[in-house]
């Protein structure tokens, strides 16, 4: 089944403790992206990647890192999480440019205390 998977689905952590949210897709997609969803703000793009070893900042990259060493994986790294990073995070992928529809993962709900 074609899908985007994220792990973990739920995470509660403390301020400053490094964490990684994994994202993997099995559709051989070139484009991958991370979003955060907050009430009243909709989805905001954090980082995106056009292909392996090619990443770029979205609208809200501060406090996040990403890497794209393999085509299928696009982990999101929070080196020193803070409470304002409490949010619902989505990974997405598509087979090419932004002209094509994106496939979204199920989401990761992160709480930073």
Partner 1 sequence: AQSVAQPEDQVNVAEGNPLTVKCTYSVSGNPYLFWYVQYPNRGLQFLLKYITGDNLVKGSYGFEAEFNKSQTSFHLKKPSALVSDSALYFCAVTLVRSSGDKLTFGTGTRLAVRP
90 binds partner 1 (CB under 8 A): yes
Instruction: Quote the CA–CA distance of 105 and 78 in Å, as a whole number.
Output: 19
97 binds partner 1 (CB under 8 A): yes
Tokens of 64: 């996040």
CB-wise, 28 or 80, nearer to partner 1? 28
99 binds partner 1 (CB under 8 A): yes
83 binds partner 1 (CB under 8 A): no
* Nearest alpha carbon to residue 58 among 31, 95, 22, 87: 31
CA 22 remoteness from chain centre: 8
Which one of 17-25, 40-48, 63-71, 74-82 is the stretch in contact with partner 1 (CB under 8 A)? 40-48
Question: What DSSP line would sit under 79-92, residue for residue?
Answer: SS--GGG-EEEEEE
Residues contributing to the site for partner 1 (CB under 8 A): 4, 31, 33, 35, 40-45, 48, 50, 54, 56, 58-59, 90, 92, 97-99, 101-107
């Amino acid at each position: 089944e074609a899908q985007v998977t994220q792990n973990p689905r739920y995470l509660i952590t403390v301020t400053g403790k490094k964490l990684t949210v994994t994202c993997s897709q099995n559709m051989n997609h070139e484009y991958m992206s991370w979003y955060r969803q907050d009430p009243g703000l909709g989805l905001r793009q954090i980082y995106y990647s056009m292909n392996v070893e090619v990443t770029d900042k979205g609208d809200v990259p501060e406090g996040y890192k990403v890497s794209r060493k393999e085509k299928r994986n696009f982990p999101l790294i929070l080196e020193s999480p803070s409470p304002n990073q409490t949010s619902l995070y989505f990974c997405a992928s598509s087979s090419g440019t932004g002209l094509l529809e994106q496939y979204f993962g199920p989401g990761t709900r992160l709480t930073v205390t």
